[in-house]
Amino acid sequence: MSKLTWDKKIHAYMKWGLSEDQISESFGKNPWIMACSEEKILLGMDFFVNKMGLNPADILSNPVIIMLSLEKRIIPRSLVYQTLTAKGLLRKELKLLVRMLKAPEEKFLINYVKCYENKVPDLMKLYQMPGLMVVPN
């Protein structure tokens, strides 16, 4: 990776108020955070901070989540998380959200969709909807 590309990615994280030290520490835990494109970094940070209400430092403390597909994984699973927390069925905490985002598909479906179908009948439909919009906090 060129120095220019590297610097652009560092700057993309710094736009969210993160320091170079925080970015370096996260890079030490998961070097792949710098494999993401500048656009993916900016879009992921925007979603997690502005739609999910996370602190940028929380995202870097769980760097693998920035690498996940926004459209295919993060948005649909975040909608399930927001729906279940809004109904009081799950506690609202970063650790749980990260676990939900990282879970293999089948485990996610069993533990967070099928498990709550009787209390939220349209949860599977909601999870599978194309072009999802995230429920406001």
Give the angle 136-133-14 at the CA atoms, nearest 5°: 75
**Domain presence at residue 92:** yes
CA-angle at 72, arms to 75 and 57, nearest 5°: 50
Q: Output the pTM of the full model.
A: 0.85
Q: Rounded distance, CA 101 to CA 88, Å? A: 19
Do 86 and 109 lie in one domain? The reply is yes
**How far is residue 79's CA from residue 7's CA, in Å, rounded to a whole number?**
33
pLDDT of residue 32: 82
What local confidence, expressed as pLDDT, does residue 6 receive? 93
pLDDT tens for 79-123 read 999 999 999 999 999 999 999 999 999 999 999 999 999 999 999
Per the prediction, the chain carries an average pLDDT of 90
Mean pLDDT of 32-53: 92
Q: What is the pLDDT of residue 61?
A: 86
Domain boundary among 26, 44, 67: 67
Domain closes at, from 14, 46, 67:
67
Domain range for 80 is 70-128
Residue 137: inside a domain, yes or no? no
The phi, psi pair for 67, rounded to 5°, reads -85, -15
Domain identity same for 8 and 62: yes
Q: Is residue 136 part of a domain?
A: no
Q: Is residue 134 part of a domain?
A: no
What pLDDT shows up at residue 131?
Answer: 59
> Which of 12-16, 90-94, 125-129 comes out lowest in average pLDDT?
125-129
* Residue whose C-alpha is closest to residue 110's, from 80, 136, 130, 131: 80
Residue 103 lies in a domain: yes
pLDDT of 137 strictly over 60 = no
Judgement on whether residues 9 and 60 belong to the same structural domain of the protein? yes
**What is the tally of structural domains in the chain?**
2
Interatomic CA distance for residues 126 and 86, integer angstroms: 14
DSSP 74: I
Note the pLDDT of residue 60.
Answer: 87
